[in-house]
Amino acid sequence: MIVRNSSLRIMKRTLKLVLFFGIIFTVIFCITWQNIHMYLVKKRMEEIMMKRNALEKTIYLLNMELSYLKSRERITRIATEELKMEPINYRDIRYILY
């Protein structure tokens, strides 16, 4: 009977230690997992922000090119120099047909 009680106590004590360290390990694992996940999310956000910045730069440059292509001075120069067109006056317009 004494041997059973002492072995039972040892088993209870061992079970308590296993549960205690299991809980400690679980808490440490969850905290570590959370930190790793936050690091990965932060890294992904930085990649997305870099892509966004590159796209914004591209949009800015394309808008600059578009404004240059749409400029009246450029269109007038191309029409007169390259296409040999002449500017029209209000006297040249006789009828406007739609």
Q: Is residue 69 part of a domain?
A: yes
Distance CA 16, CA 85 (A): 96
Residues 79, 85: contact at Cβ < 8 Å?
Answer: yes
DSSP 81: I
Q: Is residue 30 part of a domain?
A: yes
Domain that holds residue 42: 2-84
What is the mean predicted confidence (pLDDT) over 7-28? 94
Only one residue has tokens 């890294």, namely: 43
Q: Is residue 26 part of a domain?
A: yes
pLDDT of 89 = 75
pLDDT value at 5 more than 90: no
Query: How many structural domains is the chain composed of?
Result: 1
Q: Is residue 68 part of a domain?
A: yes
Q: Where are the alpha helices (DSSP H) in the chain?
A: 2-70, 72-77
pLDDT of 97 = 58
Query: What confidence tens digit (pLDDT) does each residue in 32-73 have?
Result: 999 999 999 999 999 999 999 999 999 999 999 999 999 988
The pTM is what?
Answer: 0.58
Q: What is the band of 84 on the pLDDT scale with cuts at 50, 70, 90?
A: confident
Residues 54/57/59/65 CA torsion (nearest 10 deg): -140
CB atoms within 10 A of CB 79: 13
Q: Is residue 93 part of a domain?
A: no
Q: Is residue 89 part of a domain?
A: no
Q: Is residue 51 part of a domain?
A: yes
Q: Is residue 92 part of a domain?
A: no
